[in-house]
Structure 1
Amino acid sequence: MSTELVSLDASKLAELIRTREVSPVEVVQAHLERIDAVDRRINAIVTVADDAIEAAKAAEAAVMAGRELGPLHGVPFTAKDAIDTAGVMTQRGSPIFKGRVPDTDATTVVRMKKAGGILLAKTNHPEFSFWIETDNLLSGRTLNPWNPDRTPGGSSGGESAAIAAGMSPIGLATDVAISIRGPAALTGVVGLKATHGRIPMTGIWPRVPRRFWHVGPIARSVRDVALAYSLLAGPDGADGFSTAPLQLDAGVGSSPGRPLRVGWLVDAFAPVDADVAATVRASAEALTSLGIAAEPVRIPVLEEINALELLWKLQVMETKPAFRKVTAGHEDKIFKHVQGVYDTPDTSIADFVDAEQKAEQLRDGFAAYFQRYDALICPVTTVPAHEHDAAEFDIDGQKVSSLHVMTATAPLSVTGLPGLSLRFGTSREGLPIGVQLVSPWMAESTILHLASLLEAVSPVRGLHPDMSRI
C-alpha cells in the first residue's frame, strides 16, 4: 500500500481520503517512509516538518467526524526552501540563514493548508534561488532521479526531484527565468508559471527583482497543477503585483465557439537538441490528431531580441544591492552562484533603459502573435538534463554557454506570460523531455486545457524513474 500511495497524484489521494479508503496518517506516513528510503540518494529534502504526523491525525479526525473537507484534505505537500513556513526552517539555500524559522506562512502555504494540505517538508534549491542547478554550501547538491549524474535543474530542482521520486505528490516552487518550468521538464513532472502577479509572492525571498519573480505549483499531473492554481491564484492584499482575481481568466479553454489556434516553433531558440526539437513537433502533431490544428509559426521579435541577455541586464542592477545587504559580513559563506552575480559588471543606465525598452518590444511582439493564435508550443529547455556543473553544451557541433538552457523560458519571464511545462518525450539517453505551452496573459485555462489533452495521449504517460538505479 505504501508503494502504491507514493505513486498516486494529489487528486487521487484526496479522493481516497474523502471516501475513507485510506487515512491521511497512512498517506503522510507513506511519504515520510519514501523520503527515508530514497532521499539519501537524491538529496532533495532539506527539512521534514516535525508536526506532519500530528497534522495528519487531526485531518483523519475531521474525516471521521464528517466535517467539511477541503480539496486537498489530508494530502501532503512540499515547498521550496525559499518559501516561508511558520515553525519550520526556511534557510534560503545559504549558511547565512542556517536555522532560520519564520513566524508566519507565505500566502501560498496558507492557501495550501486552507485547502486541507499538510506541509510535509522543505526542498533544496541553489543559494538565494539564483542558478540553473540545485547546489549550495548549506545542504549540498540535488541529483536527478532519472540519472544521478545529471542535474534536476534549478532553482526548484529539489522540489521537482522530490515529486519525480515519489517523496511528495505536489509542491510549491518559484521561477524568475526557468526555475519551475526547467526543473519540471528535466525530471519529467508538470510545472506551471502563471501570469506574473496571478499568485502572490508574499512570504517568499528574494523580493527582488519581484517584477519577474513567480510562484507556482509542481505536481505529477495536469489536473493537480490546475487544482493548485485555482487555490493559489488571486490577490492577498499584500503583494502589489497580485491584483487580478481568478475569475478574469481570458482563456478559451474547451469552450465552444471556434477551434483553438495553436502555433509551434523551435528555430527561434537555436541551437536546440534534436530530441527536444522532435518532441515539440510530436506534441504539435498529437494536437492536430485530436482536431486542434497546430502549425509552424515565427515570432519575429524572438529572433531580434535576446530575452535572456536583457533579463540578466535588468536583474543584476536590482539583485546586487539586495544580495550585498544580506551577505555583508558573511563573505566566507557566499557560494559561487551569488559570487557570480557580484562578479558581473554593472549594467550602465543606457543599457538598462535599452533593456527595458526591448522588454516592451517583446511584450508587443507576443501581443501581436496572440491576436492570431490562442497558444504557442515551444521547448522548455534547449537540452535534456545535462551533467552537473556544465559550463557549456555542444548542440549539433555548436558550442553554447550552459545559460543557453534558459533561452526558451526567459522570454516568458521578461513578459510575464504564463507557461506550462509537460513531459512529452524521452531523449536517446532515457531522460525526460518537456514541451512548454504558452498562452496570452491571464489565459491559463487555455494551456491547462491543451496540457490535459496532451497528457492523455502522451507516449510517456505513467513513466517513473527507476530508483533502484541510484
Structure 2
Amino acid sequence: MTSDLNKLDATGLAELIRAREVSAVEVVQAHLDRIKAVNPRINAVVTLADGALDAARAADEAFAAGAEVGPLHGVPFTVKDSFDTAGVLTQRGSPIFAGRIPDTDATCVARMKRAGAVLLAKTNLPEFAYWIESDNLLTGRTNNPWDLNRSSGGSSGGESAAIAAGMSPLGVASDLSISLRGPAADTGISALKPTHGRIPLTGTWPREPRRDWHAGPMARSIRDLALAYSLLAGPDGTDGFATVPREFDAGLGASPDRPVRVGWLVDSGLGPIDPEVAATVRKAAEALAGAGIRVEAVNIPALERDNPFELFARQHVMEMKPAMQEATAGHEDRRFTYSKTMLATPDTPVQDYVQAEQGVERLRDGFAEYFQRYDALLLPVTSIPAHAHGLKQFTIDGQTVDAFRLMTPTVPFNLTGLPALSMRFGTSSDGMPIGVQLAANWHSESTILYIASLLESLSPVRDQHPAL
C-alpha cells in the first residue's frame, strides 16, 4: 500500500485515512521518503517543514480519540515559497530574504491546516516569483520530472514538479500571468486560477500589481482542485479584493439543467501555437462534443484588437518597477534575471499606461459579451510544451518569438480576473505533457470544474506519471 501512496490524489489519501486503511504518519512518511529519493535530481522542494511527522501523529491521535476532523485530515500539502509559513523558512527565491522565518501563516496556509492538512514542505520559484522558469540565486533551478533538461515552468515550477513527481499530492501557489497554469501544463498536472479575489492573498509576496495576482490550488486531479478551492475561497477580512462570500460558487459544479456551450480557439490573437498543442485542443473539443457538450470554433474580436501581452507589459513595468527597486535597494549584487531585466526596462509613458488601461477595459467588455453566448472557452495553456532550460526565444510553427510570449494564452485571464483552469489532455511526439485551458465567466469556477471533470474522464492520458 505505502508504495502506491505517492500516486494517489489528496482526496483518495483522505479517504484511506478516514477508513483507517493507512495512517497519516504513513502517508507523510511516504512523501518524505519520495522527496529524499527524487528531489536531488529535480530540486522542487527547497525547505522541509519541521514538525510534519509530529503533526501527522497528532492527526492520528485526534482521529483515534473520535475528534471531528476536516476533509484533508492528515493529508500532506506543499506551498510555493512566496507564501508565509509560521516557523518555516519563506525566502521568496532570493538571497535578500535568506533565513527569513515568518511568525504567521498566509491565509491560504492557515485554511489548509484548518481543514486538517499537514504542511510538508516549501517549493521552489524564480526570484520574487517573477519569471517563466523556476531558477534563482538562492535555491537554484528546478527541473521537469518528465525530462530533467527541460523547465517545469514558472513561477510555480517547484510546486508543479513536486506534485508531478509524487513528492506532494496537493499544493498552493500563485499566478500573475501564467504561474499556476503554465507550470501545470509543463508537468502534466492540473491547476486552478480562480476569479480575482476569490482566494485571499494575505501573507503572500509580492503583491504588486495586486489586481493581477491570484492564489490557487495545484493537484493531480480535478476533484482535488475543487476540494481545495472550496476550502481556500472566501474573505479573510484583510485582503480588500476578497469580498465574495465563501459559499458562493465554491466546489465542483453539477451538470446544469441545459446544454453546456463551449467555444474553442487556437488562434484569435494568441500568436503562433505549436501544431501539437493546437491538435490537443482540437481533440479536447471533439471529446467534449462526443460527450454531449455543444462545442464550436470561435473567435474573440477583443483578443485580436488589443494584444493582451502588450497590455500587460505596459501596465506591469509601471506598477512593479518601484516595488522591485525598493525590495532590492542596497542588495544590487543579489539581483537575478528578472529584477535586472525589470529595472533596466524604460518606464512606461503615462499616455501608454492609460491606453493599456483602456485596452484592458475593452478586453473585459469583449469577454463579457462572449460569456453571454457560451459557458466556457477552451484554448491552449502555453504556446509550446515544456522547453529546454534557459531559452530566451522560441521558434513556434516557423515563427521566432520572445520567451515572454509563452504566456500569451494565459495572461488575458489575469488582466480581466476571469477564472481559468489548466489540465493535461495530450502528449507531444517527444513524450512531454500537453495541457488545455478552460476559462469561464467571473465567479463561475464550478462551471469549468464541471467541464474539466468531464474532460478528465475522457482524457487519453489519465494516471500517467513520469518515470523517475
TM bucket by the smaller chain?
over 0.9
Deviation at 1:308, TM superposition (A): 1.1
Alignment correspondent of 1:76: 76
Query: Residue 200 of structure 2 contacts residue 242 of structure 2 at CA under 8 Å; is this kept in 1?
Result: yes
Alignment correspondent of 2:305: 304
Q: Which moved more, 1:106-115 or 1:265-274?
A: 265-274
Alignment correspondent of 2:34: 34
Deviation at 1:149, TM superposition (A): 0.9
CA distance in 1, matches of 2:461, 2:220: 13
Alignment correspondent of 1:109: 109
Deviation at 1:254, TM superposition (A): 3.2
CA distance in 1, matches of 2:365, 2:20: 52
CA distance in 1, matches of 2:219, 2:351: 42
- Are 1:320 and 2:336 an aligned pair? no
Q: Which amino acid aligns with 2:320?
A: T
Query: Residue 59 of structure 1 contacts residue 74 of structure 1 at CA under 8 Å; is this kept in 2?
Result: yes
Alignment correspondent of 2:19: 19
1:374-453 counterparts in 2 under 5 A? 374-453=375-454
Alignment correspondent of 2:227: 227
Q: Which moved more, 1:337-346 or 1:92-101?
A: 337-346
Per the normalisation by structure 2, the TM-score is: 0.98
1:49-448 counterparts in 2 under 5 A? 49-249=49-249, 253-268=253-268, 269-448=270-449
Deviation at 1:114, TM superposition (A): 0.2
Q: Which amino acid aligns with 1:464?
A: H
Query: Residue 376 of structure 1 contacts residue 437 of structure 1 at CA under 8 Å; is this kept in 2?
Result: yes
Q: Which amino acid aligns with 1:54?
A: D
Deviation at 1:317, TM superposition (A): 1.2
User: Judging changes above 3 Å, is the alpha-carbon distance between structure 1 residues 368 and 251 closer, same or farther for their aligned structure 2 residues?
Assistant: farther
Deviation at 1:270, TM superposition (A): 2.7
CA distance in 1, matches of 2:200, 2:237: 9
Q: Which amino acid aligns with 2:427?
A: T
Deviation at 1:265, TM superposition (A): 0.3
Query: Residue 251 of structure 1 contacts residue 442 of structure 1 at CA under 8 Å; is this kept in 2?
Result: no
Deviation at 1:252, TM superposition (A): 11
Query: Residue 261 of structure 1 contacts residue 374 of structure 1 at CA under 8 Å; is this kept in 2?
Result: yes
Alignment correspondent of 1:454: 455
- The superposition leaves residues 259-284 of structure 1 with CA deviations (integer Å, 9 ceiling, x where unpaired) of 01110000121310001000000000
Q: Percent identity over the alignment?
A: 65
- The superposition leaves residues 160-198 of structure 1 with CA deviations (integer Å, 9 ceiling, x where unpaired) of 000000000000000000000000000000000000000
Q: Which amino acid aligns with 1:300?
A: P
Query: Residue 20 of structure 1 contacts residue 63 of structure 1 at CA under 8 Å; is this kept in 2?
Result: no
SS at match of 1:71: coil
User: Judging changes above 3 Å, is the alpha-carbon distance between structure 1 residues 230 and 247 closer, same or farther for their aligned structure 2 residues?
Assistant: same
Q: Which amino acid aligns with 1:425?
A: G
SS at match of 2:166: coil
Deviation at 1:3, TM superposition (A): 2.3
CA distance in 2, matches of 1:17, 1:250: 24
Deviation at 1:253, TM superposition (A): 4.1
CA distance in 2, matches of 1:404, 1:315: 15
Deviation at 1:315, TM superposition (A): 1.4
Deviation at 1:257, TM superposition (A): 2.9
Query: Residue 34 of structure 1 contacts residue 167 of structure 1 at CA under 8 Å; is this kept in 2?
Result: yes
Deviation at 1:391, TM superposition (A): 1.2
- Aligned pairs, how many? 467
Q: Which amino acid aligns with 1:241?
A: F
User: Judging changes above 3 Å, is the alpha-carbon distance between structure 1 residues 2 and 166 closer, same or farther for their aligned structure 2 residues?
Assistant: same
CA distance in 2, matches of 1:13, 1:458: 22
CA distance in 2, matches of 1:136, 1:368: 41
Unaligned 5+ segments in structure 1 are none
Q: Which amino acid aligns with 1:115?
A: A
Q: Which moved more, 1:334-343 or 1:79-88?
A: 334-343
CA distance in 1, matches of 2:423, 2:289: 17
Q: Which amino acid aligns with 1:161?
A: A
Query: Residue 251 of structure 2 contacts residue 446 of structure 2 at CA under 8 Å; is this kept in 1?
Result: yes
- Supply the RMSD in Å over aligned alpha carbons: 1.1
- The superposition leaves residues 203-232 of structure 1 with CA deviations (integer Å, 9 ceiling, x where unpaired) of 000011111100000001000000000000
User: Judging changes above 3 Å, is the alpha-carbon distance between structure 1 residues 49 and 387 closer, same or farther for their aligned structure 2 residues?
Assistant: same
Query: Residue 250 of structure 1 contacts residue 442 of structure 1 at CA under 8 Å; is this kept in 2?
Result: no
Q: Which amino acid aligns with 1:418?
A: P
Deviation at 1:34, TM superposition (A): 0.2
CA distance in 2, matches of 1:376, 1:348: 34
Query: Residue 77 of structure 2 contacts residue 118 of structure 2 at CA under 8 Å; is this kept in 1?
Result: yes
- The superposition leaves residues 291-320 of structure 1 with CA deviations (integer Å, 9 ceiling, x where unpaired) of 002110010111111111111211111111
Q: Which amino acid aligns with 1:316?
A: V
Query: Residue 251 of structure 1 contacts residue 446 of structure 1 at CA under 8 Å; is this kept in 2?
Result: no
CA distance in 1, matches of 2:162, 2:252: 33
CA distance in 2, matches of 1:104, 1:382: 38
CA distance in 2, matches of 1:15, 1:324: 48
Deviation at 1:48, TM superposition (A): 0.1
CA distance in 2, matches of 1:297, 1:319: 34
